[in-house]
Amino acid sequence: MDLHLKNQVAMVVGGAGTIGHAIANSFAGEGCQVCLFDNHPSTVALADSLPSTAMGIRGDVTHYEAVKQGFDQCLETWNRIDHVIYTAGVGSGKFGFPFWNLEPSDWPRVWDINMMGAVHVAHAFARHAIQNNSGTITFLTSVAGQIGSQTDPPYSAAKAALINFMQCVAKDLAPYQVRANALSPGMVQSDLNRSVWQAGQELLPEEKRQSYEDWAEAKIKHVSPLGKWQNPASFGSMATFLASEHAQHITGQVLNIDGGQVMHA
211-251 pLDDT tens trace = 988 888 888 888 899 999 899 999 999 999 999 999 999 99
- Supply the mean pLDDT for the chain: 94
Domains in the chain: boundaries: 9-190+231-256
The C-alpha atoms of residue 22 and residue 16 are separated, in whole angstroms, by 9
pLDDT of 154 > 90? The answer is yes
Q: Residue 71's pLDDT band (boundaries 50, 70, 90)? A: very high
Q: Could you tell me where the beta strands, DSSP code E, fall in 28-148? A: 33-38, 54-58, 83-86, 135-140
pLDDT tens profile 143-153: 999 998 888 99
Task: Please state, in angstroms and as integers, the Cα–Cα distance from residue 188 to each residue in 15, 19, 36, 154, 258, following that order.
Answer: 16, 8, 21, 19, 9
Cβ pair 26, 15 in contact under 8 A: no
The CATH superfamily label for domain 9-190+231-256 reads NAD(P)-binding Rossmann-like Domain (3.40.50.720)
pLDDT of 81 > 90? The answer is yes
The C-alpha atoms of residue 70 and residue 41 are separated, in whole angstroms, by 16
Cβ pair 67, 46 in contact under 8 A: no
